[in-house]
């Protein structure tokens, strides 16, 4: 590390080096007592207790005298406080011998310590609890091992050569494949400031030396429990991602199908083109045109309330009924009859309370007359060629009264008629082409839309210009509603 803290100075290293063999005595004496107890041998318990108590006293003396406060008292400063290290060391109790019973949660644990005796003692204690262990002598070796095999938890010493605990922890948490692996720092009692830094960098917890077996058991159990919860969370997230990917694939296929039912642009006997941009993968708009017979061309565009799968299914169903001419007792050359038939065929209560609007027209080629009806739909626009040779002609709004489709049974609809002059353009559209909210939150006026279409609607790229204009008004981002417009060049 680039900056040293007080606890990482020469005295800390001296305390660390002197405590290491004492910790070995504590650890091995505890293991000996436990293994003898397993065999039913208790005769040496008192002697082992004396050894452990003496080792604890030595640790306390090291913490008290090999500190800045201890040196101050030796130099005659009687007011120097007794260090927190001394208090903490004296508070360390002799471990309970039942703490190495089989653990409730076991795992595969990587033990990282530069001292072989420390590693061995800790690994043997963990193995007695039912864990499997792998040992590493420094941070670099630990990282290499962690990349080779999966672990449930890492016990990581702070002070090590080659790569210390700080560096190893930083690299573990920076690696996407390892960052969620729980890390418990191993630290001497007077390295708590360093431990705080480690926890701030992502360590789960810390274990002080010498190890209290009960505390060791509890903190490892907590770390493994977090690992299990994290693994379950990752598993569920992976399942959600797979489900979302599958759903997206299905929606993409459904969107392709919806587009496939739209008729291709044509050049004869009239040029017909369109532009379509759903606000979601599946939109509620649908449109089409087909020849009923040699003289009558049907033109239609409908808009289902809402968006998504339900709206798309209803729009496709209604369009297929129109295309197939499957409404009973309906003359599809009469727009009013078609809308009345659709209204009775798709009642809201049978369509999950969804309804739709529609504009339906029939062009009679010999007379150049257009009959049309509307079920709550916006007017279509008829752009007539100019009589004075100017590039901008006149525009008529083709309206007809009528309720939206599915709201009430047995509704009556009226048809209107108009003549189509040669060179005219008919624009059949949904409200998503003009009900546009600007970036500042205000809505454009219908007059703004009609003025734009009067100027550009007859141009070869007029529909593309309209969509670009709409996106520009929105300030980018997805459209709030489906965008559909159909154009017939008479």
265 in the same domain as 207: no
Which pLDDT score is estimated for 196? 81
Evaluate whether residue 254 is within a structural domain. no
CA distance 205 to 216: 11
**Pair 375, 305: CB distance under 8 Å:** no
476 in the same domain as 382: yes
Evaluate whether residue 326 is within a structural domain. yes
Domain containing 421 equals 261-489
For residue 136, give the 3-state DSSP assignment. Answer: strand
Any alpha helices (H) in 261-389, and if so which ranges? 309-324, 335-345
Evaluate whether residue 238 is within a structural domain. no
Q: Which conformational region is residue 149 in: left (phi greater than 0), alpha (psi within -120 to 50 degrees), or beta?
A: beta
Q: Which residue has the higher pLDDT, 177 or 53?
A: 177
436 in the same domain as 288: yes
Closest CA to 156 of 226, 229, 220: 220
Tens of pLDDT, residue by residue over 250-282, are 878 888 888 888 999 999 999 999 999 888 777
Q: How confident is the model at residue 181 (pLDDT cuts 50, 70, 90)?
A: very high
CA distance 72 to 366: 114
207 in the same domain as 304: no
Q: How confident is the model at residue 191 (pLDDT cuts 50, 70, 90)?
A: low
> Which of 38-42, 122-126, 478-482 is predicted least confidently?
38-42
CA distance 211 to 299: 84
> Which of 122-136, 352-366, 379-393 is predicted least confidently?
379-393
CA distance 341 to 329: 8
231, 253, 274: which is the final residue of a domain? 231
All residues at 6 or more sequence positions from 61 whose CB lies less than 8 Å from its CB, including other chains = none
What is the DSSP-derived secondary structure letter of residue 271?
E
Evaluate whether residue 358 is within a structural domain. yes
Q: How confident is the model at residue 75 (pLDDT cuts 50, 70, 90)?
A: low
Q: Which residue has the higher pLDDT, 5 or 286?
A: 286
CATH number (domain holding residue 434) = 3.60.40.10
320 in the same domain as 445: yes
Which pLDDT score is estimated for 284? 87
Dig out the tokens for 188 from the structure: 């001497």
Task: Tell me how far the alpha carbon of residue 32 is from its chain's centroid.
Answer: 52
Evaluate whether residue 239 is within a structural domain. no
Tens of pLDDT, residue by residue over 205-224, are 888 877 777 788 888 998 99
- 285 - beta bridge partners? 303
Helix (H) or strand (E) holding 363: strand 356-364
Average pLDDT over residues 100-119: 88
Q: How confident is the model at residue 470 (pLDDT cuts 50, 70, 90)?
A: very high
330 in the same domain as 211: no
CA distances (Å), origin 132, targets 143, 306, 320, 360: 18, 57, 65, 75
Which pLDDT score is estimated for 8? 52
Q: Tally the domains of the chain.
A: 2
pLDDT, mean over the chain: 84
> Which of 241-255, 414-428, 439-453 is predicted least confidently?
241-255
Q: Which residue has the higher pLDDT, 46 or 333?
A: 333
> Which of 1-10, 110-119, 178-187 is predicted least confidently?
1-10
Query: Is residue 102 scored above 60 in pLDDT?
Result: yes
Task: Tell me how far the alpha carbon of residue 309 is from its chain's centroid.
Answer: 22
CA distance 429 to 280: 18
327 in the same domain as 223: no
266 in the same domain as 172: no
Which pLDDT score is estimated for 488? 96
Which pLDDT score is estimated for 272? 96
Q: Which residue has the higher pLDDT, 433 or 72?
A: 433
Evaluate whether residue 243 is within a structural domain. no
Evaluate whether residue 236 is within a structural domain. no
* Radius of gyration from C-alpha coordinates of the chain: 41
* DSSP strand pairing (271-277 vs 483-489): antiparallel
Which pLDDT score is estimated for 92? 42
CATH number (domain holding residue 192) = 3.40.50.2300
Any alpha helices (H) in 346-461, and if so which ranges? 446-456
Q: Which residue has the higher pLDDT, 68 or 327?
A: 327
Tens of pLDDT, residue by residue over 76-101, are 555 545 444 444 444 344 444 445 56
All residues at 6 or more sequence positions from 79 whose CB lies less than 8 Å from its CB, including other chains = none
Which pLDDT score is estimated for 94? 41
| Percent of the chain's residues with pLDDT above 70 | 82
Tens of pLDDT, residue by residue over 219-244, are 899 899 989 988 899 899 989 999 98
Q: Which residue has the higher pLDDT, 44 or 172?
A: 172
User: What is the signed CA dihedral for 449, 450, 451, 452, rounded to 10 degrees?
Assistant: 50
217 in the same domain as 351: no
CA distances (Å), origin 355, targets 50, 261, 322, 358, 378: 88, 20, 16, 10, 15
Q: How confident is the model at residue 26 (pLDDT cuts 50, 70, 90)?
A: low
Judge if the upstream peptide bond of residue 232 is cis by omega within 30 degrees of 0: no
357 in the same domain as 217: no
């Amino acid at each position: 590390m680039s900056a040293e803290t007080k606890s990482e100075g020469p005295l800390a290293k001296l305390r660390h080096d002197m405590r290491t063999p004492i910790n070995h005595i504590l650890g091995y004496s505890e293991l000996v007592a436990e293994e003898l107890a397993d065999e039913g041998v208790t005769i040496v318990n008192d002697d082992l207790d004396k050894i452990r108590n003496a080792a604890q006293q030595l640790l306390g003396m090291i913490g008290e005298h090999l500190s800045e406060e201890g040196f101050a008292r030796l130099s005659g400063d009687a007011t120097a406080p007794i260090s927190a290290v001394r208090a903490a060391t004296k508070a360390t109790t002799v471990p309970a011998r039942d703490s190495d019973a089989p653990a409730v949660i076991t795992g595969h644990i990587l033990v990282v310590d530069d001292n072989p005796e420390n590693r061995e003692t800790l690994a043997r204690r963990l193995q007695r609890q039912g864990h499997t262990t792998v040992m590493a002598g420094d941070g670099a070796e630990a990282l290499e091992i962690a990349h080779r095999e999966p672990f449930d938890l890492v016990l990581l010493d702070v002070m090590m050569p080659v790569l210390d605990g700080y560096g190893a922890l930083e690299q573990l948490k920076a690696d996407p494949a390892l960052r969620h692996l729980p890390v418990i720092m191993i630290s001497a009692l007077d390295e708590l400031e360093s431990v705080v830094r480690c926890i701030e960098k992502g360590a789960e917890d810390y274990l002080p030396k010498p190890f209290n077996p009960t505390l060791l058991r509890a903190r490892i159990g907590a770390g493994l429990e977090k690992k299990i919860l994290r693994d379950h969370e990752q598993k569920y997230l992976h399942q959600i991602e797979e489900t979302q990917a599958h759903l997206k694939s299905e929606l993409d296929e459904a969107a392709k199908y919806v587009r496939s039912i739209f008729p291709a642009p044509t050049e004869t006997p009239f040029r017909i083109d369109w532009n379509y941009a759903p606000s979601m993968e599946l939109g509620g708009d649908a449109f089409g045109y087909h020849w009923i017979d040699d003289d009558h061309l049907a033109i239609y565009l409908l808009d289902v309330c809402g968006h998504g799968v339900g709206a798309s299914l209803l729009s496709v169903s209604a369009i297929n009924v129109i295309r197939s001419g499957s409404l009973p007792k309906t003359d599809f050359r009469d727009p009013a009859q078609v809308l009345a038939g659709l209204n009775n065929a798709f009642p809201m209560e049978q369509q999950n309370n969804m309804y739709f609007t529609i504009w339906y027209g029939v062009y009679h080629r010999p007379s150049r007359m257009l009959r049309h009806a509307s079920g709550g739909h916006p007017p279509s626009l008829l752009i007539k060629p100019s009589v004075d040779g100017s590039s901008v002609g006149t525009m008529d709004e083709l309206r007809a009264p009528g309720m939206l489709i599915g709201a009430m049974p047995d509704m009556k609809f009226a048809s209107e008629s108009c003549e189509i002059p040669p060179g005219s353009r008919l624009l059949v559209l949904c409200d998503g082409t003009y009900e546009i909210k600007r970036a500042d939150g205000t809505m454009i006026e219908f007059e703004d839309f009609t003025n734009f279409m009067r100027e550009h609607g007859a141009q070869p790229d007029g529909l593309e210009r309209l969509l670009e204009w709409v996106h520009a008004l929105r300030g980018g981002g997805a459209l709030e509603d489906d965008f559909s417009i159909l154009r017939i060049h008479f």
